[in-house]
Structure 1
Amino acid sequence: MVMKGDGPMVVGLMWSMAVLCTFFTVLRTYTRTVIVKSFGADDIVFIVACLMFVMYTIFLTISASIGFGQNTWEIPDVDIPPTVLYSAIGQTFSIFGMAIAKWSLGLFLLRLVCTRRHKIAIWLPLILCFITSLLCAAFFWFGCTPIEAVWNRALPGSHCNVLPRVPMYYVYGSTLVFTDFYFALFPWLFIWKLNMKKREKIVVLCSMSLGIFAAAFGILRCSQISGLTSPNFVKAAVRVILFAAAEQCVTMICIGIPVCRPLYRQCINRRVSRDSSNCNNISGTHQTVALRSMIGGETRSRGVTWNRSTIRDSHFPTAGELARHTSTSEAGFDADENRSDDEISVCEQRGSSKASMDPEKG
């Protein structure tokens, strides 16, 4: 059946967002497996969230090919139940997909912290998201009697007031919005105290606080929840479907950006290395330090932090010093270059702060 009404728009936007989610999933997987070599549970959960979004898009595409996006009176009566059924299955993937995306972010933050109170502060909203997603799905599918009335409201004797579905939708949506704001602000409590350059901290924190944009789409989605119970469901639910898809897509993009920072920085380093390949007046060790400084990073070598001020104020090493420190400096540069945000932990900073040295004293 040819898509009509808002169907082509819904399908086009959702597949565009699905491509974006897949793109960031590929970038994240490559970064974690090849560059950082630190593939973990949060990456697996991120991939699962992407698959859930793709399934959401597939079922909405099937629903739109039957009649979703049109007014009820424009669709043959025989096509209304399958239209609603496929969209309901797609929304189920969306309910769990958004919660899983929040779990990916939460598990990512767990790799940053080491104190028990910080871990508890992360686990609480994750558990809350898990519980509300289960309840929302249960209220969605078991809120009507018989269950078939969920997608065929024309059944004689059916009614959909068994469970308070609409209040549950608002609770679920509010929980996701709260979680977005919570995880956007939470990193500022401990990352700001780390022994990093101020500019570097601001970049990391801003990239990890992009979840506020997902919260904005979550608020818009909550404002359209009434469309889920409208008699003209296949038309009235278009906005809530799109806002739900946008919320999950933006969530995954915001999670992927900070995790892929080592990939961005590697690309920058390669570009800088090509531009400076003809400069032969700088020794190997100090060229590494210079390149590192140009991209706004730092090179750590056995507790020593080499930055622009270090290069400016410290003396050039002698031949003996250069021989002793070349291998460690280069190793420190390569290791730090590919560090992702999850490797900048409070535990590591606490352990290394006591052993830090003054570069001018060697």
Structure 2
Amino acid sequence: MTHSDKSSVCILRLTALGDCINAFGIANAIHEDYPEVKIKWIIDSRFSSLFISDGKPIVPMVPVEIKKQGLLKSVLSLRKELKGEQYDVLLNMQTSIKASLLSTAVRAKLKYGYDSERSREGQSFFVNRRIDKPQNPHVMSGFISFARTAGFEKIEPKWNYHLTPQEISRAKELIPQDKKILVLAPASAKAEKNWTAEGYTEIGQYAVEKGFHVVIVGGKGSLETELCSRIADKLQDNCTNICGKTSLRLLAAVISQASVVISPDSASMHLASSLNIPVIGLFAIHNPDRVGAWNFRKYEVSVYAQMAAAELGNKEAGWRYRVKNKEAMKAIDCQKVKEVFDRICKDYSLH
């Protein structure tokens, strides 16, 4: 089947924010490249604001408030929201039982789920089609396969946040305009995925010596604010710490002004990649082949392979294998991060 056989598509991807950023690349590409196709995206309301520009959703969406309402009420609410709507295709890009139960609220002729290797939590009971297994293990490749298997054969991810002049102006007010900017996004949602404060400080000082100003970003959680404060205290006047002071949209605007971003496996890493800002992704717990920065894989620094091998021996790590050593990120060598930073400076003429 081709896209011409379909006039409407519903995409279901609720969480996490990094995955929603990647899913947006597909949703937006369909929306822009196939304007004749009606599209709707079901997303967790906690993340929907990133994809709303000047009060209007960039891609038509239905935010669901699962955390606030609970799953049952969310299913009933979504059913009411979509009452009378019929879709040719549902792309269920999330394998959780939560997503599968929500998918029952969507009336669609074809309901696509993951291939047998990636499908889990009983998703196969809620779909009637499977996507073609992608050759590339990356999550983004899976999302692309959803669209291509459903008939959008030449689709490529396309990100456009429609950042407004006001958002860009506000971002520029927060950061110096006379220096190259290194954005440090040091924290992910889980402590074990974060590099050390000492490592971030050392690479920050290295960047300062090369004429960069460091901008530190992060959320409002205590884990993030504490880590960011420790780094900022060391870098002092050579950095601007705006951790906890930005909305998702303002964070995107700030990152859009960066020359380089350094981040562990986090939403900020995926946001930088989607904005086409060179990002050094740092990995030890999750396989970067699966979750790395889609547009900048060549700049990542990873010890995942050696950490996984230490735990598994001769056994091959599965697609979802997660390193259990909570100290694994400490194995990242700052010298290697400096080398990749220098390579970006050379590639992008940032000397």
What TM-score, normalized by structure 2, do the two folds share? 0.22
Return the structure number with greater strand share. 2
What TM-score, normalized by structure 1, do the two folds share? 0.21
Return the structure number with greater helix share. 1
